[in-house]
Structure 1
Amino acid sequence: NKILSGLTSYILAVIKALFNYNMISIDLESNNSFIKGEKLMISIGNGISSGGGFYLNPNAKVDDGILDLSIFEKITRRRLLSALPMALVNKIEKVPEASLTRTEKIKIELKNPYYMHCDGEIISDNLRTAEITLIKGAIKVIKRKS
């Protein structure tokens, strides 16, 4: 929608998706732990926010070489509507259906193909498997001294 932009567009998209979402059946490995089952959403990040202001990985640091993983369990639509504001005010760790961890490497296998986006761009609409890692210090960034 050209009239709406930024965070408002994302919030409306999330509310619209509430009425036709399907759970994601996953097998996931990170930190030598295994997670299997139906999940609402998985967020893997190097930064704390995505989607223009949803704080899904509140402990992320862009320069530590560690991935932050947030996994969201099944949640009712009503409960999701009450939990959504927590993602907007960086309090997602208070949502009982969210589990947060930090890891160096993640392997995901999906029972059914699904889409994956990176920095807001869809990079696959048919993802079945993925292995995600970070290379610490791979990009040099110049910044002013504060």
Structure 2
Amino acid sequence: MKKRKTPKKPGRAARKPPPGKPSAGKKPSTSDPLLAPIEGADRRSVGGVRIDILRAGNGRIKRVVYPPGFRWSTHMKPMVGTSLCMHAHVGFLARGRIRGEYGDGCAYEFAAPRALVIEPGHDGWVVGDEPAVLIQFDAEDETARQFGLPEEHRHARA
């Protein structure tokens, strides 16, 4: 005797989520890896700037996130008490655009992705509406000396 196949009950086909929506059970990733917390880092916020610091021997590796609208002379000068930023910055601009000017009027501008060196004695600001993310290498107050940079910006004289 032959078995008769019973028709399958009409089932629901698996629903696909609309384009741009995550599938059920998966939450959308809202964190940007470039901005996500860094495991083991000391996190600080100063003048609206977010800084993650990792020790590396006698130096530090820092991820510095400057928000849109940030300007050193507006947001940091009142806290620091100097007319210009007297720290050297050596690193890699991973995102965004920054512009600045030294005390002598010499100007600079960097757009990501780009390695950069900014000597002490500058004002700097974020250009545009996205944060500037700088991966910086420093030796705290000894950065200029450790990297062989002048203690303050100056032009080479002939």
Q: Pick the TM interval, shorter chain.
A: under 0.3
Structure with greater strand percent: 1
Structure with greater helix percent: 1
Larger Rg: 2
